[in-house]
Structures are given as C-alpha cells and as structure tokens.
Amino acid sequence: MTPAELSSAVLHAVRRAVDAGELDVTVPARAVVAPPGPGGCGDYATNIALQLARPAGQPPYRVAEVLRPYLVGVDGVADVVLTGPGFLNISLGGAAPAALVEEILSAGTRYGHADAPDAPDAPDAPDAPDNSVVRLHCPHDLRAVVVADAVARALRCQGALVRVTAEGFDREWTAALGVRVDGVGPAPVSLPVTVRPVPAPADPLPLGRDAARWALLHPAAHDRPRIGDEHLAQREGNPLFRVRYAHARSRALTRNAADLGFAAEPGPVPDAPQDLLAALGDHPRVLAAAAAHRAPDRIARHLVAVADAALPFLPTVLPRGGEKPSAAHRARLALAEAAGTVLAGGLTLLGIDAPDHL
C-alpha cells in the first residue's frame, strides 16, 4: 500500500463511520499520512481524528477510537495504535514497500505523471479552446524564463497544454540553459499567469546548464538565488551534488549487482527506512502541487529529501564479504533503483541531467 492508497483508505474509513452513524461529519477531501512523529509508532500516522473532532463534537481520541476498527480491517494494514491526543499510527504489512517500489519501477521516470494528451504543447494544438491552455508570461529576465520553462514542464507532466511567452528573449539562453518560449512580446490579450520571481543577483551562465538551472530553481520564487561556485562543489554541502550522487550510486549498485549475478526484484524490506518510503510515495503529490502552485522549487527540495533519505540506505544494498545474494538483497536493490528513478525523473522535469556516473 502506497501513502496515496493509505490516505484513500483513511478517507474510506471516515466514510464508513459516517454511513454507520458513528460520526456526523462531512468527509474531508484528503487525509494527510506521514511518518510518525515523536512518541508515535508504526509506518505512518494521520491526524484525521484531530481534524474531525470539532465538527464531530467529540474529543479527538474518541474519534480515533471510532475510526480504528475500520482501518484495522483494510488489506495491507497490520495494526493501528492510538497515541497522544488522537493520532492513528498505522503499521503496514511487509509487502507494502514492494507495492510502492513495483509501481515506481513500472512507471519509470514518468512515475507521478498524469496521463498527458496527445499534443504536449499549445503551439502543436492550435485548435484547442483557450480555456484548455495554461498561458505563462514572464518579463525579459533569465530567472523568470528558466522558472517558466520548469513550470511548463511540471504542468505538462500533469497533462496540461502550456504556452510560454516572454517580453524578451536572448537566443543564447536556449543554447546555454535549454529554455524555450513560444512567443516574444507583450503579454497577450487573454490574461496569462505571470511568472515573476526575484531576479538573480548575477549572471548564472558561467555555472553551466545544470548548476545554473539548479541555482535559479531550488530557491522559492520570492527568495533571491545565490549564484556562486558552491553549486559546482563535489561535496555533501551542495544539495545538487547530493541529489545527483544518490542517483549515480543507485545506478552503480545495479551494475555491481549484475556483476554479482543478481538483479532487482521488489519484495519485503524489513529494514527499509520509513523516511525514504514516505518520500518516494509522496512524489506524485509533490509533482501535482508544483504544477498547481507554479512552484518548481517544491520538486527541487523534494529531490533533496529523497536523496538524503536514500544515501544512508544505499551502502546496505549489496552482499558483504562472502555473503550470497538473497531475496532481501534483490528487494533492497529494487528500492534503491526506485529511489534513483524518482531522482532521475525529478531532475529531468527541472531540465537537469541525471548522469549514471559522477
């Protein structure tokens, strides 16, 4: 069971409790599930009982008690423990990580993408009605154009048709940073979404395509980006390096495993880090939110979280010494490959290369 599926299961439990007359509330649109906080236990926790307590007219702990039986019977849920004022702490069956990993490896770098229409861009679909096209417009500013380009990529991965225009555009930007616009000039008559981040304090082009795009996209639009050699540093203090290094290490593990005569196979991983599973499962939501809020920085920060969760796990994947490859090693390798897949897909959406060797 993935975090998204678990969230749906929580909402279904609320709906069943309402239908049974045990709760008198409106079923919310979403339920947040996340790794348990201090004092929690299990694989995931949700505060849905605290969210519903006031409209239900009952203490949060009582709401949690009502919901618990409806969750315990769900396939893939091993146990539900109540802690604190009413948190539901959910333990999943051993196959839960395997389902998430299998889903990621099956989708590849398109994991988290919505079904896209046949025509990916507005210029390729001239007959599309105006309200079906997201129109982005930006000033004659390099950071604005890069952010608009990344926003367009995020929107397209969610199935949107996008047209990007700019008040001015330098051709060297395409060659240097891979950005593109569909039109140059003043904002069109139809009201577009204006992309106007805080401009960069210096020219990022000397950093090269990947580091320059990261420097401009990693900070939120309202933050001033730092343009310096720190983005080129091959050390852990550089977030871009950590993301690309984690991806390259996952690819190296696949090559090394092949040399040892085994390949990845999704399966139970008893010691799987929950923060990594949570980050991988959250990837589709992050992509959707980045598109909805026109905020590619959310993707960049999410990739850092995935890398930071993956890096301590990667050294445990391969057999050590005279140890023979086992089902556990194949399952760990599959999880490592899933992490690398998410990192590669996210970097691609940001327009940044994900090299197999670093």
pLDDT at 44: 86
CA–CA distance, 288 with 30 (Å, rounded to integer): 14
- Which residues, in sequence order, are CB contacts of 221 under 8 Å at separation 6+? 147, 195, 196, 197, 198, 295, 297
| Average pLDDT estimate for 95-107 | 85
Cβ–Cβ < 8 Å for 70, 15: no
Q: Which of 69, 54, 62 is nearest to 86 (CA)?
A: 62
pLDDT at 248: 98
pLDDT at 261: 95
Over residues 166-208, the pLDDT tens digits come to 998 888 899 899 998 988 888 776 677 899 999 999 999 999 9
Over residues 275-303, the pLDDT tens digits come to 898 889 889 889 999 999 999 999 999 99
pLDDT at 115: 60
- Ramachandran angles phi, psi of 163, nearest 5°: -130, 125
CA–CA distance, 10 with 74 (Å, rounded to integer): 10
Radius of gyration of the chain (CA): 23
116 pLDDT exceeds 80?
no
pLDDT at 128: 36
Amino acid at the residue 250: S
Residue 255's pLDDT band, with cuts at 50, 70 and 90, is very high
Cβ–Cβ < 8 Å for 127, 270: no
Over residues 298-335, the pLDDT tens digits come to 999 999 999 999 999 999 999 988 889 999 999 999 99
126 pLDDT exceeds 50?
no
CA–CA distance, 125 with 145 (Å, rounded to integer): 22
337 pLDDT exceeds 70?
yes
pTM of the model: 0.76
pLDDT at 93: 67
pLDDT at 96: 59
Check residues 118 and 337 and name the one with the higher pLDDT.
337
Burial 135-146 (b: 16+ CB within 10 A, else e): bbbbbebbbbbb
Residue 274's pLDDT band, with cuts at 50, 70 and 90, is confident
pLDDT at 120: 36
pLDDT at 123: 35
Q: What is the DSSP string of 223-280?
A: SPPP-SGGGG--STT-HHHHHHHHHHHHHHHHHHHHHHT--------TT--HHHHHHH
pLDDT at 232: 95
Burial degree of 21 (CB within 10 A; 0-12, 13-18, 19+): exposed
| Average pLDDT estimate for 18-37 | 91
- Kindly report the number of other CB atoms within 10 A of residue 133's CB atom: 17
Mean pLDDT, rounded, of the chain? 89
The helix-helix angle for 239-260 and 209-217 (nearest 10°) equals 120
